[in-house]
Amino acid sequence: MRSSYGIRRAWGYFELAHFEVPNPKVNATPSVINVTSWIEVDTKDVPKLMFTVPFHYSFFCGDVGKWEFFSELHYDYPQGRPGIDLKNATVSAKNVIFDAFRDADAPHQQFQVRSDRYRWLKSPFV
């Protein structure tokens, strides 16, 4: 079996807003505190690797379909409130290319052979 790589988990962090709120401590300095809100999205661990490709090849896919991400809204209030669960986010992508596990002497600024080319080269119909 050839060694391969892929994605086991996808995660993202998106800042939404920065705003000021009154400091909850009486007679505190400063009188206002800065708060940031953000959303985290996460596939959590998936049962098997997604987008599997052999080492020394780039992954390429014209349409990866749709993924469901668990989503939470967060605020960095000093009281440390927990995240608020949101409806799952649905993410789709087209023309996805990623490249990893290249030899040290591989050319920089250039993708390795694309996985679709690899599959064509290994096709029993060629």
Strands annotated E in the chain: 4-7, 11-22, 32-42, 50-54, 59-75, 84-98
State which residues form the domain around 8.
4-99+108-121
The pLDDT of residue 49 is 76
Percent of the chain with pLDDT over 90: 25
Residue 64 backbone zone (phi > 0: left; psi -120 to 50: alpha; other: beta): alpha
Mean pLDDT value across residues 65-70? 88
| 2, 10, 92, 39: CA torsion to nearest 10 | 180
Percent with pLDDT over 70 in the chain = 83
The answer to whether residue 82 sits within a structural domain is: yes
- Residue 115 pLDDT level (bands cut at 50, 70, 90): low
Q: Structurally, how many domains does the chain consist of?
A: 1
Query: What pLDDT is attached to residue 2?
Result: 61
pTM, to two decimals: 0.64
> Residue 87 — pLDDT band, cuts 50, 70, 90?
very high
pLDDT band at 122 (very low <50, low <70, confident <90, very high): very low
Is 94 inside any structural domain? yes
Average pLDDT, stretch 36-51? Answer: 86
Q: Tell how far CA 30 is from the center of its chain.
A: 36
- Taking phi over 0 as left and psi of -120 to 50 as alpha, with beta for the rest, 119 belongs to alpha
Residue 126, in any domain of the structure:
no
Kindly state whether residue 75 falls inside one of the protein's structural domains. Answer: yes
Question: How open is the CA angle 107-110-116, to the nearest 5 degrees?
Answer: 115
Read off the pLDDT band of 30 (50, 70, 90): confident
d(CA 36, CA 71): 17
Which residue is listed with tokens 């986010």? 89
Residue 119's pLDDT is: 44
Q: Is residue 68 part of a domain?
A: yes
